Amino acid sequence: MELTTPTLQTLFEQLGLDSDQASIDAFVQRHGPLPENVKLVDAEFWAPEQAEFLKDELRMDADWAPVVDELNVLLHESK
């Protein structure tokens, strides 16, 4: 069985969101930038299950953690 490295696309799929590049860009545009004092996992737009998944992956420093960090940076960047 071949393991693949998680990407933003596969993270969006895991979260049940549209995962093509245009959809990812639109999501970041719509929800960013997050205020500096708001953690990614505490953003109001996540469903509880999505937020829990993101928290768990970061807490466990799992394979998804680098991609969750990447999304965090994208959503905190100034436009």
Name all domains of the chain by residue range, CATH numbers in brackets.
Answer: 8-76 (1.10.10.1130)
Residue listed under structure tokens 């940076």: 73
Model pLDDT for residues 36-74, shown as the tens digit of each residue: 999 999 999 999 999 999 999 999 999 999 999 999 999
Q: Who contacts 66 (Cβ-Cβ below 8 Å, separation ≥6)?
A: 6
Contact 8, 67 (CB under 8 A): yes
Would you place residue 3 in the very low, low, confident or very high pLDDT band (cuts 50, 70, 90)? low
How many distinct helices (H) and strands (E) make up the chain?
Answer: 4, 0
Average pLDDT over residues 21-34: 97
- pTM for this prediction: 0.91
Would you place residue 4 in the very low, low, confident or very high pLDDT band (cuts 50, 70, 90)? confident
